[in-house]
Amino acid sequence: MSEEVLQQAAPGLIPGSGTARAAKLTRLSPSFISWLQAGPMMLVFLAFFLIPLVFVVIVSFWDYNEYQLLPAFSGRGYTDTFEGCIAQLPDLCTIGRTYVMTLKLCFMVWAITLFIGFWVAYFLAFHVKSKTWQMGLSLLCTIPFWTSNVIRMIAWIPLLGRNGLVNSGLVKAGLINQPLEWLLFSEFSVVLALVHLFTFFMVVPIFNSMVRIDKSLIEAAYDAGASGFQTLVNVIIPLAKPGIVIGSIFVITIVMGDFITIGVMGGQQIAAAGKIIETRVNALQFPAAAANAVILLAITFLIITMMSRIVDIKKEL
């Protein structure tokens, strides 16, 4: 029964009839072929992702001095990170303030990308009727994703700088007397750049969920007398929820670990979880960097677990 359902939902994932399966058995064993096919990718993840993560955890418990790693157990990476956290109570210590800042950025970017992403996806999925147009417009949204993030960041400089287009325009229009300083190298420009770069990660999964919604459900809602708003809240949003959750996971994890956008657009002045790691590495304090990475990983993991309670990711792909 469950195979039948899966066959309907994803015909490609279940191989065909029993006769074909029997014929295959006479050749190389299928599990051997599977290993051969999936093995190389597994090895890459093992060597460059899973083992490195293990090293991050191990090294976070090592000792260090000014210029090298000392492979002996020590909690210094962590104690250095949380230095003064108890002494300074009730004020927040550096790491506490940094995480509050990171979470604040995260929340702002998440809320804005969700709003923009939802309506862009909604327009593409429900208002663009022709498949060709749908393809073309989706492509238009995707192309910037294939170009450089740094370029898309510095692209804001001529617009937001002290003598940039926005400031000179506002001055000319007589709205302000002197250029606004908070437009560039500020929290504002960081949030703007993050939204600019990563709304794409919200649009794609939400669009994917929305195109799968059976249009007759929406017509049924209208026929039953639901207003446009009621249809949106009671039919479309619940059915698009998986996409919303997946997009949210992408955006939140990207912003949590970001250090480049926050660095470039914040004029290297804004502290963030990812930036601490970079600073520690540049100071060659690897165990402290690793300890911060473990903390960041734990918090990210916590957020993802909470969100994936809402939806089963594996079912949605």
Partner 1 sequence: MKEGRPRSFYVLAIFFAAYVLFLYGPMIAIYVLSFQGPQGGLTFPMNGVSTFWIAKLFQGTGIVDLGAAFHRSLLLGIIVMILTVVLSVAAGMAFRRKFRAQSILFYSAIASLIVPSIITSLGISLEFRIIDDLIKAHWNENFETSMGLLTSGLGAHLTWTLPFGLLIMFAIFNRFDPRLEEAARDLGATPWQTFRHVVLPIILPSVIGIGLFGFTLSWDELARSSQAIGAVNTLPLDLQGLTTTVTNPDIYALGTVISAVSFTVIALALGTIHMLNKRQAAKGSDAGKGLV
CB of 78 to partner 1, least distance (A): 16
Site stretch for partner 1 (CB under 8 A), options 83-91, 103-111, 162-170, 172-180: 162-170
CA-CA distance, 103 to 97, in Å (whole number)? Answer: 10
* Contact assessment for residue 287 and residue 60, using Cβ atoms and an 8 Å cutoff: yes
Shortest reach from residue 7's CB to partner 1, in Å: 10
How many helices (DSSP H) and strands (DSSP E) are in the chain?
Answer: 18, 2
Q: Which of 92, 228, 238, 306 binds partner 1 (CB under 8 A)?
A: 228
Q: Does 13 help bind partner 1 (rule: CB under 8 A)?
A: yes
Which residue type, as a one-letter code, is found at position 236?
I
Q: Which of residues 207-226 bind partner 1 (CB under 8 A)?
A: 219, 222
Spatial distance between the Cα atoms of 115 and 108, rounded to a whole number of angstroms: 11
179 touches partner 1 (CB under 8 A): no
Burial of 170 (0-12, 13-18, 19+ CB in 10 A): middle
- What are the φ and ψ backbone dihedral angles of 117, each rounded to 5 degrees? -60, -40
- The DSSP-derived string for 231-269 is HIIIIIHHHHHHHHHHHHHHHHHHHHH--HHHHHHTTT-
Site for partner 1 in 116-155 (CB under 8 A): 116, 119-120, 122-124, 127, 137, 139-141, 143-144, 146-155
Least distance from partner 1 to the Cβ atom of residue 97, Å: 19
**Contacting partner 1 (CB under 8 A), which of 25, 87, 173, 317?**
317
Contact pattern for partner 1 over residues 275 through 314, marking x by CB under 8 A: --xx--x----x--xx--x--xx--x---x--------xx
CB nearer to partner 1: give 33 or 100: 33
Residue 198 interacting with partner 1 (CB under 8 A): no
Which of 46, 56, 113, 102 has its CA nearest to residue 250? 113
Residue partners of 294: CB distance under 8 A and separation at least 6:
56, 57, 60
- Site track 70-99 with partner 1 (rule: CB under 8 A), x = hit: ------------------------------
Site string for partner 1, 28-67 (x = CB under 8 A): --xx-xxxxxx-xxx-xxxxxxxxxx-xx--x--------
Distances (CA, A) of 218 to 203, 221, 228: 21, 5, 9
Binding piece for partner 1, criterion CB under 8 A, among 76-84, 86-94, 113-121, 171-179? 113-121
Is there a contact between 104 and 194 (Cβ–Cβ < 8 Å)?
A: no
Q: Count of residues binding partner 1 (CB under 8 A)?
A: 100
